[in-house]
Amino acid sequence: MANPDIHIIGAGPVGLAAALLLAAQDRRVTIHEARDAISLTDANSYPIGVNPRGQETLRRIDSRLVEELRAQGELVEGFKIRAGRRMLASMRSGTIIGTTRARLTGILLAAAQQDRRITLSTGHRLEAIDLASRTLQFTGTTTVEVGNGLVIACDGVWSKTRQTMAEQLADFVPEVSDWGVQFRVLFSAPGAMAPGLDPNWHHIFTGKGIYTATLPDGVWCVAVTAIKGDPAEALLLSTEPTEDHINALHRHLRQYAPLVLPLLTRDAYVDFFGRVPFGGAVVRCPRVSHDEWLVLLGDAAHSVIPPTGEGVNSGLEDAMLLADALASGSPTPLREYDEGRIPDLKALGEYACHLKDNIANEDPVRYVSNVGLRVLSAVAGLVGQKSGELESRLFGPDAGRMPYRDAIGPWIQFRDRWTPPLRRIATGVVRCADKPISAEPQTLVAHQREGARRRISVIGGSSGTGKELAELALKRGFEVTCLSRRGAGPIGARLISGDAHDPEIVRQALKDATAAFVTVSGGSDDSRDRTAITQAVLKAAGQTGLRRIIVQSSLGAGSSARMLPPGIRHLATRMLAPALADHTTQEQVVQESGLDWTIVRPVGLTNKRATGMVRELRDDESGWLGWPIPRTDVAGHMLRCLDDKSTIQECIAISGRCVLGQHLPSHR
């Protein structure tokens, strides 16, 4: 019986490696690539390190690929951790080959183009998948009926395949948590040198996440990190190479990575602002295959964050392990691959989330406790405990292909054991160190620190008021989870893709949250989407023990129509009757929930900038509201309700600033 045809979505390193490994099993492989042309220039790429995992996959394809990688890369002797000019620590490696993603892609692409069993179709952007009929729809009119074939989705961190699985499979709920940072690269001229920087080592400047790597032609890559909410973020993501921006970038590097300055010419600074930043997310999936015909590999299945050093390497290892499973003769190779791989991906995902949460975190308690954890971990490593040897197992001279569950698992247990007592100690240290300058600043700082330890969930956080609320909460130090059908949301939030009508999916979104915000829009005119979703949230809240819930409704719902201006009251309630009926029912189920609820009823939502001027009426007050209100102001008001106990079990109508002749509340 002939081997089934293989369809691979995505011609990145993982997709190309999978194609080569499966073609070697005498399978016909088609690679569907969204781009019309695959860019292979360093200018549009970024530095990576290929460790023994990735090298073994290349060796399995053809040992000459490893030789070519070494010719186009540099063996990394080790890593030096610096704070400005001062070196804090170093770790030897000698097992990692430093290169760029573009160069690795070029090596694999050249090999694939020489294999007649592999067809590369560019300009094939995946638009939709019908899981029931096993049909792929690409841009234009291109449709592929998979039949008995296999689909291997290597379509990256924002995978359309993964999104489709989440939409069509009720029990598939991936977690997608944006990094909260973006990276951008400066390249030196060939042969550049800088006193104090050994080109055989990679240098990490801890102050603002600046990283250097070298290529064989003496070109240095200097990757800078733009952290969401950081004052330097706008500069580092700007596209305008003005003199002010060039000088500001120079000052940024001089302050946090002064040793790199001799490497960079003015042209390097100018080119930096024309280079596309790259971001991503940490992705964790409950499983990575479906029904023995579809499987996710690489970032589509388990995207991590660059400091793990495992992004491309874990993906290349995926390809090798999948090829082994398909060659085993098993009647269920994808299930066996899935069951064998998931424990490792869980450990890797846990490590990636830990690093992500620490990058942009400003909570001093977490910072102090993490320092303590690193000290304890280092001590454990010195006495030979596995929990203290994580970096060595991943990057060190003896790094190999130890399964992630074995390499990272002991560290996870160590972290979970010691973090609670370290946080208690850190809390005391921070309190002793606090010295308020005045009453008002101290109150603000205290609020932000408290917020940094609190977690909220926003149901409907991908757009509108929900997105504004999530962004505002992140700026104030909250940990935020957003649930939406598309799995979208602001940078820095934990994103969950799924149907908010499903209490089980909502329960995952509410995990560990101290409060939930419901900001969903409605469906068709005669639907009850808001009510149905709110009922799912209330059910999930009961399962998780969550008490605090704040719901966005609308002025006109319940008994609030009397607060609309007389001139539009009748017209508005008639035109918006279906939506207001949904809101009214939504409010009723909230009020009957027995939770600590607050209902906020805005009127006239706009996308204008925040004004900070909000008019409020509660149910027992008289007056009219009618001035439009920006969604950002609504978000701010909802967030303020969280800590205002007087809003519990209250319906609060809000609008923008007062208009001339508007009635004022009869009491307040």
Across residues 558-584, what is the average pLDDT?
Answer: 70
Do the beta carbons of residue 540 and residue 506 sit within 8 Å? yes
Q: Within the chain, what is the greatest distance between any pair of CA atoms?
A: 84
Residue 431, pLDDT above cutoff 80: no
Across residues 14-35, what is the average pLDDT?
Answer: 97
Residue 524, pLDDT above cutoff 60: no
Strands in 111-219 per DSSP E: 118-122, 126-130, 135-138, 143-145, 150-153, 175-178, 181-187, 201-205, 210-214
**Banded model confidence at residue 446, pLDDT cuts 50, 70, 90:** very low
DSSP string, 395-444: HSTT-----HHHHHHHHHHHHHHHHHHHHHHHHHHHHHH---SSHHHHHH
For a pLDDT cut of 90, what percent of the chain falls above it?
50
- The closest alpha carbon to 318, from 80, 641, 21, belongs to 21
Residue 445, pLDDT above cutoff 50: no
- The closest alpha carbon to 518, from 478, 561, 461, 567, belongs to 461
**Banded model confidence at residue 525, pLDDT cuts 50, 70, 90:** very low
Q: Which amino acid is at 581?
A: A
Residue 658, pLDDT above cutoff 60: no
Q: What pTM did the predictor assign?
A: 0.67
In order of their start, the domains of the chain are 1-73+100-176+283-359 (3.50.50.60), 180-279 (3.30.70), 362-431 (no CATH), 455-656 (3.40.50.720)
∠ CA 540-457-460, nearest 5°, is 90
pLDDT in tens, 295-335: 999 999 999 999 888 999 999 999 999 999 999 999 999 99
CA 542 to chain centre: 28
**Banded model confidence at residue 638, pLDDT cuts 50, 70, 90:** very high
pLDDT at residue 10 in the model = 97
Write b or e for each residue in 642-654: b if 16 or more Cβ atoms lie within 10 A of its Cβ, otherwise e.
beeeebeeebbbb
Distance CA 355, CA 242 (A): 34
pLDDT at residue 22 in the model = 98
